[in-house]
Structure 1
Amino acid sequence: MAERDNKVMVGALLLLAGGIIGAGVALMYAPQSGEKTRKELGRYAKKARRKGEEALEAVEDFTEQVGEMAEAVGERASEILDRGKDMAYGAKKGLLKALEDGEARLMKERSRLAKLIG
């Protein structure tokens, strides 16, 4: 069991040593300082925020325009419907007048034929 504990301890020490060596190599070959990296990340975050705000404004404008368009279409549809109702009422009125005139003519012709026939 002591041998197993030694192997675990050696493995842990090798892992730790590898991490330290890797960090040292990364620092030696890093393209820029941490301060410069933080500044660039800050600039990138500000730029991303600004673009996000612009996108949000564009979405709000688009939503407003779609709402206005839907309202205009609704109003126009209402006007067309009202005109259609008026036209239908006028047509109904004209049809009833034609039917009444036709009925009056039929009655007149029936009377005339009744007088002729006797």
Structure 2
Amino acid sequence: MPDKFGYLLPPEMNAAAAQFEKWEKERGHDLECEVCGNIVWEVPRTVNAIIGDAVDGPAVAKFRLSVVLFVCNKCGNTKTFAASYMNVSPYSEEAPETGETSGEGDTDGS
């Protein structure tokens, strides 16, 4: 789980990298960057979020999907994976100002 500032700790970074490598082995080859052909990817230290609106008729709800990025270390091409599929909890240990558990990932309709 990220620290209170949203940074991944080494165990989470290693877990995400291990999952990525597992998928590469299952495919039988390294994931090649479609831009430059490089096969070396880096994991930035932060958990990011895709934020949007889910629309169902007149109802609109906000959503947040926590993601882990993998960045080609040659050209910067970026792959985005849902944090939950990369063995990374999207929730920080505590919110920076309140000390409460982070509500990231919750849909509250606001």
TM-score (norm 1): 0.18
Greater share of residues in helix: 1
Greater share of residues in strand: 2
TM-score (norm 2): 0.19
Higher relative contact order (CA 8 A, sep 6+): 2
